[in-house]
Structure 1
Amino acid sequence: MTDLTERPSAAVDSRAMSNLLVRVGQARDRQAFRALFDHFAPRIRSFLLQRRVPKAQAEDITQDVMLSVWRRAASFDPAKAGASTWIYTIARNQHIDQFRKAKRAEQMDETDPSLQPEPAPAADDLCEMSESAQSVGAALETLSPDQRQVIDMAFTEGLSHSEIADRLDLPLGTVKSRIRLAMGKLKTTLGDLV
């Protein structure tokens, strides 16, 4: 039996790291993640610096790697790989992705029309858009509070009908009905703007 106060062997250390990673994946255990972060972040940074990654970029990649570890820990399978192998694979892949992005950026044609910003709208177009926005705002005020709420959630927040029903604790049919009635009223009020 190994006394855990002594320096653990590589196998015990590897198992401990795998167990920490499993705890992060299964229970979002912050203390386990902190231990993984404290152990791996300096090593990953050193790993990247040895590959001649600039210091600032190495620090950014290290943060991205550890964020990926937090997000993807549930997909870690200790039967397939050790924690160290799994985490360093993420680091290697992040480094390759950064390298490829930098290469693509170097090859980018800055004169490409698709990369040019849209021209500013003409003053009369801005005025027309402002008037349209005011008309829509006034039309929304004519809706009942229930109808206005579902329209706002659907179009401003981009929620689906099911998500709105869940959030408001309403039947899906009620949400659909409110949206349909509200859209009909807005179409009548606004005419060509809808």
Structure 2
Amino acid sequence: MEDSGGRGAVVNPNRLSQVLSSFSETQDRGAFRELYDYYGPRLKQFYMKSGTDEATAEEMVQETFVLVWRKAHLYDVTKAAASTWIFTIARNHRIDRIRREKRFVSKDEHYFETELVAEGDQDENVDQPKMSSIIQKALAELPANQAELVKLSFYEEVTHAEIASRLQLPLGTVKSRLRLAFGRLRKKLAEFET
């Protein structure tokens, strides 16, 4: 249905909850298609905002709807809206997938972690106090929100998910800020290597 301003479809959330409830009882493919058509693009955006590339996000949407199909009998319209229930499944699926694939580590993050701050791995001729001073100075030159994430991630060894939870940030924001921070640190620390 169109809204009066012609901006596109207006969907009543209660109606979608009823559609999901109906599907959970009847396995009606038309109801499932309606849910997929509405939530599919939203789930794709959800996954992409979490740092997932487009192709993987599309794959994860498919996997999420397989889970919705399998778990539909568990849905209770009196306990949660369809959107809450479906996005909870999506969030849990994303967490499970991250756990399976371990933790994404960017090239800059790997460089910082393994070559610059790993204890005991530096060559004997590296001036450790000077290196430490340069790292501290480089961290101080980062925007405060990026420096805080680097300190939590590498000095306190807090996972990306825990940082997101602790700072009440989306996981994708934590990852993108860390990528920016590591890119800046790599450039700054490259001066030391020359």
Q: TM-score normalised by the shorter chain: which range applies?
A: 0.3 to 0.5
Q: Whose Rg is larger?
A: 1
Structure scoring higher RCO (CA < 8 A, sep ≥ 6) equals 2
TM-score by length of 2: 0.48
